Structure 1
Amino acid sequence: MSASFASRSPYEVLGVTATSSDEEVRRAYRQRLRETHPDTGGSAVLFHAVQQAWEVVGTPEARAAYDSGSGSGARGADFGGGGRASAHPRAESSSPKARSYGHPGGEEREHYITLMREWVGRGVELRDPYDAALVRSAPREIRRWLAKAIAEEETARIVSTLGIGFTVWNNVAVAKTGGNIDHVVLGPGGLFAVSSHDWGSEVRMSKGELVGEAIGDDEEPLRSLGANARALGRAVGVRFSALVVVVPDDDLAVAYEQVERGRQAGAVVIRRSLLPQLLRNGLGGSAGESIDRIFDLRSRLQSSLTFV
Structure 2
Amino acid sequence: MADSPLSDSPYEILGVSADADAAALRLAYRRALRNAHPDTGGDSAAFHAVQRAWELVGTPEARAAFDRGTVGATPSPTREAWAPAAPRRPRDSRPLARSYGHPGGLTRQLYLDRIREWAGRGVTLADPYDPALVRSAPRDIRHILADALAEESTARALSTLGIAYTVWHDVATDAAGPGLPPKLDHLVLGPTGLIAIQSEDWGAPVALKRGELVGEALAGERPFRALAARARAIGRAARVKPTALVIVVPDDHAPEPLELGGSIRGAVVSLVRSSRLASAVREGIPGSAHLGGTEVMEVRSRLQAVVRFA
- Report the CA distance between 1:181 and its aligned residue: 1.3
Cα distance in 2 for residues equivalent to 1:118 and 1:266: 39
The residue aligned with 1:192 is 195
Distance change in 2, residues 1:15/1:115 (3 Å): farther
Percent identity reads 52
Helix, strand or coil for the counterpart of 2:71? coil
- Report the CA distance between 1:42 and its aligned residue: 4.8
The residue aligned with 1:81 is none
- Report the CA distance between 1:296 and its aligned residue: 0.6
RMSD across aligned C-alpha pairs, in angstroms? Answer: 2.8
The residue aligned with 1:3 is 3
Letter in 1 for 2:304: Q
CA displacement 1:148-180 (0-9 Å, x = unmatched) = 101111111221222222111111222132432
Task: Give the TM-score normalised by the residue count of structure 1.
Answer: 0.86
Distance change in 2, residues 1:287/1:266 (3 Å): closer
Going by fraction, where is helix more abundant, 1 or 2?
A: 2
Q: Does the aligned pair in 2 maintain the 1:7–1:199 contact within 8 Å?
A: no
The residue aligned with 1:82 is none
Distance change in 2, residues 1:124/1:286 (3 Å): closer
The residue aligned with 1:155 is 154
The 10-residue stretch of structure 1 (27-36 or 106-115) with the greater mean CA deviation from structure 2:
27-36
Give unpaired runs (5+ residues) of structure 2: none
Which of the pair has the greater relative contact order for Cα pairs under 8 Å at 6+ separation?
A: 1
Q: Does the aligned pair in 2 maintain the 1:188–1:281 contact within 8 Å?
A: no
Pairing partner for 2:185 from 178, 182, 187: 182
The residue aligned with 1:127 is 126
Cα distance in 1 for residues equivalent to 2:71 and 2:266: 43
- Report the CA distance between 1:247 and its aligned residue: 1.4
- Counterparts of 1:55-204 in structure 2, within 5 Å, are 55-71=55-71, 74=76, 76=78, 87-90=83-86, 91-93=88-90, 95=93, 96-174=95-173, 175-178=175-178, 179=181, 180-204=183-207
The 10-residue stretch of structure 1 (246-255 or 90-99) with the greater mean CA deviation from structure 2:
90-99
Helix, strand or coil for the counterpart of 1:129? coil
The count of residues paired between Structure 1 and Structure 2 equals 301
The residue aligned with 1:297 is 299
The residue aligned with 2:245 is 243
Instruction: Say whether 1:210 aligns with 2:213.
Output: yes
Instruction: Say whether 1:278 aligns with 2:268.
Output: no
CA displacement 1:115-167 (0-9 Å, x = unmatched) = 22133333221122122343334333322211110111111122122222211
Pairing partner for 1:223 from 222, 225, 239: 225
Letter in 1 for 2:157: I
- Counterparts of 1:17-56 in structure 2, within 5 Å, are 17-38=17-38, 42-56=42-56
Q: Does the aligned pair in 2 maintain the 1:226–1:264 contact within 8 Å?
A: no
Helix, strand or coil for the counterpart of 1:267? strand
- Report the CA distance between 1:258 and its aligned residue: 0.9
Letter in 2 for 1:223: R
Cα distance in 1 for residues equivalent to 2:54 and 2:245: 40
Cα distance in 1 for residues equivalent to 2:265 and 2:219: 20
- Report the CA distance between 1:265 and its aligned residue: 7.2
- Report the CA distance between 1:186 and its aligned residue: 0.7
Q: Does the aligned pair in 2 maintain the 1:100–1:168 contact within 8 Å?
A: yes
Task: Give the TM-score normalised by the residue count of structure 2.
Answer: 0.85
